[in-house]
Structure 1
Amino acid sequence: MTPANETPVRVGVFGLLGSGNLGNDGSLEAVLGYLRAEHPEAVVDALCGGPEVVAARYRIPATRLHWYRGEYRTASRAGAIAGKGLGKLVDAVRTAAWVRRHDVVIVPGMGVLEATLPLRPWGFPYSLFLLCASGRLFGTRVALVSVGADAIGNRPTRTLVRWSARLAAYRSYRDALSRDAMRAMGVDTARDEVYPDLAFALPTPPASASPGAPGRVCLGVMAFHGGDDDRARAEEIHRRYLDGTIRFVRALVEEGRPVRLLTGDECDAPVVAAILEAVDSPLVTAAGAASLADLMKETAAADTVVATRYHNLICALKAGTPTLALSYAAKSDALMARMGLDAYCHPAREVDADRLLEQFRALEKQSAQLRRTLAERNKDITRRLEHQFTALTAALFPAADHAHALREAP
């Protein structure tokens, strides 16, 4: 409880939230769960990509991240270009005003310090820089919590990301690879910690009373076109990924295996449609997952999971289901290694259906042992995330942490 003579702490959450990416929204959900459990007195609102969705789903006030609504559409006409340019100036003022109203701003997870997917410097990297610079200017503590980072080739993007990290009051990373990448980009990471991805803090779904069809395979797909440095080869990479995936699904169907298609972002829907059309079998169905909880339920009901998106992998691993990664970035390899499944990674850029089938069959042969391994690794992750939230309270809510310590003192 907040004493009557004290103002409740004002907490903002920031990011591409409510924009159709289930992983981003899952990270937000985990942080909101932490705030409601440990700091119920906090007044929380969001500056985000999809304010209507965030306000309706999570019942917090939400403001649109960008003044110009066409921010993420390609601008080719003079009016659109002028709108984007004006939007950058307006967003600087809007972001500063929003930050100034808060005591703390949390950026919950997400790959905010990486460019493993196509990214323009004046899009989200610029928005993140405005946030962190405003926090430093107005004394608002900005925390980058269990975020992802990677080496960035584009110089303007790298500069904005580096300065955003430097200006943040608190940083933690979802893997050692991310911390190493920021160190290589010139950020002092001596006091930064590594914790599991925030999505691991979400509740594990209970065992289903009606398990999935025997032999079910969940296949998590992605509108994959390579990374930020692959723009010239984007369509070639996508076609190779899609063709290899379709061949893999066909092979499973020929063996009589039911295949459940999963997505992690609204932009993945065309990939699902392409697979359904190409394979054309009642054994292949698509899940309508609207959250990471839905994805976890789907993966928990499967015998085996093969997935591309990072948070599809997390859902399957947290559910304890043997999983093979169609890996599109080093973060996926690092996650699989952490969970003891590093032998079961396949490159998304070079999907070889025959090789993928070999790895899949090897995975299934080790299913019982891998389920035991995942159970142990998940226990350790739970302990690490409890430490993360304790550290976050100490860094961002020192008065609350002091009061908590006094209550626990003998």
Structure 2
Amino acid sequence: MFGLLGSGNLGNDGSLEAVLGRLREEHPDAAVGALCGGPATVSARYGIPATRLHWNRAEYRTASRTGAVAAKGLGKLVDAFRTAAWVRRHDVVIVPGMGVLEATLPLRPWGFPYSLFLLCASGRLFGTRVALVSVGAAAIGSRPTRTLVRWSARLAAYRSYRDTLSRDAMRAMGVDTARDEVYPDLAFALPAPPPGTRDGTVCVGVMDFHGSDDDRARADGIHRRYLDGTTRFVRALAEDGRPVRLLTGDACDAPVAAAIRDAAGSPLVTVAGADSLAGLMREAAAADAVVATRYHNLVCALRAGTPTLALSYAAKSDALMDRMGLGAYCHPAREADADRLLEQFRELEKHAPELRRALAQANETAARQLDDQFTALTTALFPAAPARQENP
């Protein structure tokens, strides 16, 4: 298993959990390990050996001093050999879900895109099958990032996407997608929680949102507008007597949730302590409605069958809402307008019973499609002939 796993992003870890669960059911003798961002967390939570993705422990810190810059440069060279050695010891490497082929959030080419390229190139070199499973992709403006992403996809032995937009984006970037399929996000393979006792609570998923990779010059302004609009929306709900639970999906979202709670100034506004997708789903299942920004907050709410409004920051959110029958309930995160958001929210609640029925049907369809995904994955990655016998 490969990716930014165990690093605080609940969506990434949920995708890992979904694939691990199916692997353990269908291939109980498989020896599973991980090359990931948070090896200690992955080992403790999932019981598999894990190796740190980067040799340089300061990989994600800004390097300004000469020594730190040199360490980063050396780390890139060392990582090429470390990744190759790790890949060579495995028969199959799965990249479980995640937006690994997109740059909808700020991203540097020498960060994860470089790591993904090393993985896929090593797989091709050593005959290890690399699978990009139900991943997200999007058009990328930066030429270096686009080049690394394109070649990573070309070198992978198997590709599937979590929406049609992703497949179209890779085709536009020059990847032959004729044999690539589209399936739902892997989190829809996780068990749905039982419905909670609803008491009027609204879950609001918040995010440390600064725009996309192409918005770096105006990132601060985008963040201020998003924070102001979301805060005013939450305050209005509390003034109407509605309990509000603030949800996060990544460690970096916690300060945003705390700032909104403090600015709302009401005991009705609290921050949920969910530390997994299962926890987020339980929160969503107990709510009357969900308004969320981060992609996997939306996934959790929809999987729980709760009427959901998307504060959409990328086309993938709109595509997900369309797929689940809630395309009319999207609001641009870059232009968070509390008044308009309240109007859409009231419309959402007015149609809540029919939306719950539609979501139940959409979830059944997603589950069947993911069964097909895992069947296709088994056929592609685990041929009947015995694999070579090497220690993982």
- Common fold, TM-score beyond 0.5? yes
- Secondary structure at the residue paired with 2:132? strand
2:273 equivalent in structure 1 = 288
- How many correspondences in the alignment? 386
Query: Is 1:385 paired with 2:373?
Result: no
2:264 equivalent in structure 1 = 279
2:353 equivalent in structure 1 = 368
1:246 equivalent in structure 2 = 231
User: Do the aligned residues in 2 keep the contact of 1:100 with 1:134 (CA within 8 Å)?
Assistant: yes
2:30 equivalent in structure 1 = 42
Q: Give the letter for the 2:24 counterpart.
A: R
Query: Is 1:303 paired with 2:288?
Result: yes
Identical counterparts, % of pairs: 82
- Secondary structure at the residue paired with 1:43? coil
Q: 1:350 aligns with which of 335, 341, 365?
A: 335
Q: Distance in 1 between matches of 2:332 and 2:114?
A: 30
Query: Is 1:33 paired with 2:18?
Result: no
1:227 equivalent in structure 2 = 212
Q: Distance in 1 between matches of 2:323 and 2:343?
A: 22
1:105 equivalent in structure 2 = 93
User: Do the aligned residues in 2 keep the contact of 1:393 with 1:400 (CA within 8 Å)?
Assistant: no
- Secondary structure at the residue paired with 2:44? helix
Residue 207 (structure 1) shift: 3.2
Q: 1:76 aligns with which of 54, 59, 64?
A: 64
Query: Is 1:86 paired with 2:74?
Result: yes
Q: Distance in 1 between matches of 2:371 and 2:209?
A: 33
Moved more, 164-173 or 278-287: 278-287
Tell me which of the two structures has the higher relative contact order, counting C-alpha pairs closer than 8 angstroms and 6 or more residues apart.
2
1:162 equivalent in structure 2 = 150
Moved over 4 A (4+): none
Q: Give the letter for the 1:110 counterpart.
A: M
Q: Give the letter for the 1:256 counterpart.
A: G
Gaps of 5+ in 1: 1-12, 402-410
1:202 equivalent in structure 2 = 190
Q: Give the letter for the 2:129 counterpart.
A: R
Residue 400 (structure 1) shift: 7.7
User: Do the aligned residues in 2 keep the contact of 1:146 with 1:197 (CA within 8 Å)?
Assistant: yes
Give TM-score, length-normalised by structure 1: 0.93
1:59 equivalent in structure 2 = 47
2:390 equivalent in structure 1 = none
RMSD: 0.9
User: Do the aligned residues in 2 keep the contact of 1:116 with 1:150 (CA within 8 Å)?
Assistant: yes
- Secondary structure at the residue paired with 1:205? coil
- Secondary structure at the residue paired with 1:79? helix
Residue 36 (structure 1) shift: 0.1
User: Do the aligned residues in 2 keep the contact of 1:216 with 1:260 (CA within 8 Å)?
Assistant: yes
Q: Give the letter for the 1:72 counterpart.
A: Y
Residue 277 (structure 1) shift: 1.2
